[in-house]
Amino acid sequence: MKVTGIETVPYVIPYHHPVVAASGTLSCAEHVLIRIHTDEGIIGLAEASVRAFVYGESQVSIVEAVRLWFEPALIGSDPFAVEDIATRLAWIPANNTTHGAIDIALHDIRGKAAGMPCWRLLGGSGAPMRVTHILTMGKPMEVADEALEAGARFAISSFKVKVGSKDLKSDIERVAAVRNAVGTNASIYLDANHGWTAEQAIKVLNAMVDYDIDLVEEPSPSEDLVGRQRLARHAAIAVMADESAPTLATATRELVSGSCRALSIKTTRTGFTTSAKLVAVAQALGGRTLIGSQADGMIGTAAALAFSSAHPMLACEPGELDYYTNLKDDLVVEPLQVAAGVLTPSSRPGIGVEIDEDKLRHYKVR
């Protein structure tokens, strides 16, 4: 089997609510559907998602990177050779979600060619994944209500609370309100999108100890190495690395240095091939891994679900797998549906997604 070409279709789907984080605000999903075609008619798909202020990609840059570099490198290659291909593509700097989507689309082909879901081909048993709902960065009672609603509608019992604002007191109040609302059995972890300084983080996190917080993601700027070491020593809540650990080398450095004790694994940026290596490194160094959301739509979520349910270390943790509920629509024939607080991966071949071509035509841009 050989790759014959790569199709890119940029599309935009509006959000129900704009998403506010310490790093910026988003009002719609800007994605690029990537489809890798083969000489045997099997098509592998994935979505690259624009996170301009995280990776500096745009829809135009993704389409152009595929045309200029990824497609010429892949044409004629066996799509099964993901290790070889990853090595060959490693020279392409940045373009994180393009790299991720290309690798996922290759794995989708692998699954379809072998007639089995990716999670099985990756060595898992298709475990249902407990879903984490990411709460918006609103006023304490609004956020608490949002958590209650997710609990009532989908039986969700794991929540990520956005913090890292300039108003430390409001951060604490938001966390307190959520914990009071969801009760002691739910899991809560935080994401500060490095909005605090290390010293602020130590103070705020230690003030939150009573709220039984599992982890804090990116409490302080990743370039502040000394501050992060201070934080690891003095804060009672362990750190999860995300933006500071987007590659194998950076993630390893964070774990080895002790700056973090967990990695947010985002298949959207590291695909399946590198994500598996990140899981291996975390396992080797005693770290935890949680599947994270890169503002994924349903296609990206299906991929993250297939990957995480294949890896026992990820499958035993809650995963950020319902971001798509904030999109007003999706492109998928059989939509994902959280039930009893979990998402069960598809048993269809590959990542288990079929595209609704009418909807794709509708949301396609340019």
Q: Does residue 162 have an active-site annotation?
A: yes
How many residues belong to the chain?
366
Indicate the residue among 126 and 318 with the shorter CB distance to a copy of itself.
126
Query: Which residue lies nearer to a copy of itself by CB, 109 or 198?
Result: 109
Q: Is 218 considered catalytic here?
A: no
Residue 306 CA, distance from chain mean position: 12
- 266 is a catalytic site residue: yes
Residue in 217, 209, 208 with CA at minimum distance from that of residue 239? 217
Closer residue to a copy of itself (CB): 86 or 232: 86
Dist CA 267 CA 255 (whole Å): 19
List, in order, residues 6 or more apart from 66 with CB less than 8 Å away.
Answer: 6, 8, 34, 98, 102
Sort strands 239-241 and 216-217 into parallel, antiparallel or unpaired. Answer: parallel
We find the least distance from the C-beta atom of residue 306 to a copy of itself, in angstroms, to be: 13
Least spacing, CB of residue 82 vs a copy of itself, in Å? 4
Among 71, 146, 217, 317, the active-site one is 217
State which residue, 215 or 315, has the beta carbon closest to a copy of itself.
Answer: 315
Mark out the alpha helices in 4-95 (DSSP H runs).
52-55, 59-65, 71-74, 82-89
Residue with tokens 């996922």: 104
40 is catalytic: no
Q: How far is the CB of 57 from a copy of itself (least distance, A)?
A: 24
- The token pair at 58 is 């745009």
Question: Least distance to a copy of itself from the beta carbon of 75, Å?
Answer: 15
The contact set with a copy of itself (CB under 8 A) reads 78, 80-84, 86-87, 114, 116, 120-125, 248-249, 251-252, 256, 273, 276-278, 280-281, 283-285, 310-313
Q: Which two tokens stand for residue 278?
A: 């990140």
- Which residue in 108, 146, 162, 200 is the catalytic one? 162
The whole-angstrom separation of Cα 80 and Cα 96 is 21
Q: What is the CA radius of gyration of the chain?
A: 20
- Is residue 217 flagged as an active site residue? yes
From the candidates 112, 266, 296, 330, which is the catalytic residue? 266
Tell me if residue 112 is catalytic: no
Indicate which residues carry an active-site annotation.
162, 191, 217, 242, 266, 294
